Structure 1
Amino acid sequence: MILELFSPSDYQEFNRVLKNNGMLIKVIPNANYLIELRHLLYQDGERNYQYDNSRVVELFKQHYPNSQIKKIKYRFDIPNGLQEALLEMTPLHWGENAKKLSREELDQLTTITVDVSLLITKKS
C-alpha cells in the first residue's frame, strides 16, 4: 500500500513500487480545507484565498480510470493557544500575509474545517 498525503505525485514511481492488488491512496485538500485560515490570511481574489483541486483529480483519473473518490469533511475546535501551531504546520504560513497576522487575529480562529478527498485505486 502507498499512502500519499498532500504532496505531488510521481505516477511512474507509484506504478514501479506498487505490486499487483496493491492499493494507492492519495489524500488531497478540497475547496474548504482550512478555509477559515485561508480567509484570515488572504483577501478575495488573491491566489490562496480559494483552492481548486480539479486538475489533480483529473490527472489521477487519467492514470487510474477505475479509481474511486471518497470525500471527508468535518470541523473541529482549535484548543486555546494552538492557533499559531496550526498556522505553522501548513504551507500557508510561508506567505507574506501570514507574517502580518497579529496574535489577536490568530486567537479569533477558534474552529477549522478539514475537507479532503481520498483518491483510491488498486493495481490489477
Structure 2
Amino acid sequence: MVHENKHVKNARYVRTVESMFACPVCRASMKVVHYQSLICSNHHTFDFAKRGYINFMNQPVNTKYSKGLFEARRKLMTEEAFFEPLSHAIASAIHAHVAKPKKTSSILDMGCGEGTLLSTICNKVSSRGIRDVIGAGSDISKAGIAMASKNYSDKVWTVADIANPPFKESQFDVILSILSPSNYAECNRLLRTGGIVVKVVPRSGYLKEIREVLFHKATKKYSNEATLERFSKHFQVAEHFRLCYTTRLNPASMKWLVQMTPLTWSLTEEKEMSLAEEISNQITVDLDVMIGISPK
C-alpha cells in the first residue's frame, strides 16, 4: 500500500466538504484541484501545506502565540484535562440548543489555536448521538494550525482572519469563540438558521493564583456585563452561566500552564521557571459562557 502524503490525505477530506468554502478574495465557490490546492472559479489559488492545512492569509502575521505555547496548551488539555469541565459544558449546550433531529452537525472554532478543544468538543457531541460531526478550525497563527493539522487530521484547518473567513454563508450549526476575539457580523453570516454561537470569556477569578504571585496583590473584581450586552445585541441569548472550578497541577503541568498563559509573555524563561515554583498547585478556572442563537 502506497503511503499518502499528509497534505494529500487532508486534501481528500477537504474535497468532501469543499462546497462550504468561498474565496476570501472574491467570494466565488472553490474546488480542490489535484489534491494540491483550493482554487476558486476566478482562479485565486491557495495551496495545501505539507501538514495538510490551507493558508488563506495574504501575508504573514506576527503573533506571540509560539509553537512552544501551543505544545504546552495541548499537553495541559490532553494529559491534565485542564478544560474538561468546559468542553463538557459546551457539548451539553450544543446538544440542548442545536435543532434536532440532526444526523450531521458542523462546528467552526474561530481562534482555535492548536485545535485540541475543537477536537474534544466534536468527539463529545458525536458521542451524544449526532452521527457525523464536521469540525473546522481557523486561526491567524500558522504555528497553531500546523499543530492542529498534524494531530487532528479529521478536521478542516485554515490559517485565516476572523474578519474574512473563507466560508460561504449559512454553513455552520455552531461557532465557537473560546477565550479569543470575535467577529459577530461574520458569525451571523456563517451560521445556519437556528445556529448558535458559544462565547467564552474569563471572569476575574480566572488563573488568579498566577496574577496574585505576578502582581503581589489580590485579583481585582471586574464585570463582563459590557461583553454580554454587546453579545445580546447580535444574538438571542439562550443561556448564560458561570463555570468555576479548581484543579490541582503537578510541577510539570504548572510549567505548561505558565508557558501557556499570556499573563507571562513579558517574562524571561528563567522567571517563568521561578514563577511555576511559587504558585499554589491549586488553580482556579473562572469563566462566563454565553450561548446565542442566530437571529436569522
Normalised TM-score (structure 2): 0.37
- CA contact 2:200–2:287 (8 Å) conserved in 1: yes
Shift of 1:83: 1.7
Pairing partner for 2:276 from 106, 121, 124: 106
| DSSP-derived class of the 1:37 partner | helix
- CA contact 2:258–2:272 (8 Å) conserved in 1: no
* In structure 2, C-alpha distance between the alignment counterparts of 1:89 and 1:102, rounded to whole Å: 11
The residue that corresponds to 2:191 in the other structure is 18
Deviations 1:30-85 (A, max 9, x none): 1100000111112449xxx5363332222112222534211110001012222221
The residue that corresponds to 2:265 in the other structure is 94
- CA contact 2:237–2:290 (8 Å) conserved in 1: no
The residue that corresponds to 2:182 in the other structure is 9
The share of aligned pairs that are identical, in percent, is 29
What is the CA RMSD across the aligned residues, in angstroms?
A: 2.3
Rg larger in 1 or in 2?
A: 2
Q: 1:104 to 1:43 in 2, by over 3 A?
A: closer
Q: Are positions 1:39 and 2:212 aligned together?
A: yes
Q: Are positions 1:123 and 2:270 aligned together?
A: no
Equivalenced residues, count: 119
Output the amino acid matched with 2:184: Y
Of structures 1 and 2, the one scoring higher in RCO (CA 8 A, sep 6+) is: 1
Q: 1:51 to 1:123 in 2, by over 3 A?
A: same
Normalised TM-score (structure 1): 0.81
- CA contact 2:205–2:285 (8 Å) conserved in 1: yes
| 1:66-81 pair list within 5 angstroms | 66-81=237-252
Shift of 1:2: 0.6
- CA contact 1:24–1:121 (8 Å) conserved in 2: yes
Pairing partner for 1:54 from 204, 225, 233: 225
| DSSP-derived class of the 1:115 partner | strand
